Amino acid sequence: MLLDILAVFCFTLNNQMSKIANASKLERQLMMQNEMRERQMALQIAWSREFLKYFGTFFGIAAISLTAGAVRRRKPAFLFPVIPLGFVFTYQYDLGYGTLLQRMRGEAEDILETEKSKLQLPRGMITFESLEKARKEQSKFFIDK
């Protein structure tokens, strides 16, 4: 009788410890994924800022040169390339120093809330069974060759 109670107690304690360990493991994984996401976003912003330095220089030289050419030759058509270059410059500036990422995050949150059907994967969610089926088909393919 005492051994049965002790066995049940040990089993319950073991289950609780297992749940705590699993929760801790999951929390560490989530923290690691978030850290990786933050690093990737920081790298994207840094890349955009670095690109902006070079593109800004190119844009400035091109804008001055094209404006001078338009004034000298009296052809305003020389100014047309400045327009798309200006859009690219503005986009990169907004990404590197502006609020583009906050606006994108807000739009993503709206999509997650209101347009959930657009986020579904083709053929639905991946399951263990579908992975096993694909793995077996692939291994069968390699065995046949």
The domain locations on the chain are 2-144
Burial of 92 (0-12, 13-18, 19+ CB in 10 A): buried
Residues in the chain with pLDDT < 70? 1-3, 6, 8-9, 141-145
Position 9 scores a pLDDT of: 67
Query: Mutual orientation of helices 82-97 and 100-114 as an angle, nearest 10°?
Result: 80
- Measured between alpha carbons, how far is 117 from 105 in angstroms, rounded to an integer? 19
The percent of residues above 70 in pLDDT, for the chain, comes to 92
Position 143 scores a pLDDT of: 66
Position 3 scores a pLDDT of: 66
Distance of CA 106 to the CA centre of its chain: 14
pTM of the predicted model as reported, rounded to 2 decimal places: 0.67
Position 52 scores a pLDDT of: 96
Position 127 scores a pLDDT of: 86
Token pair recorded at residue 77? 């058509």
Q: What type of residue is 79?
A: L
Maximum distance among all Cα pairs of the chain, rounded to whole angstroms: 105
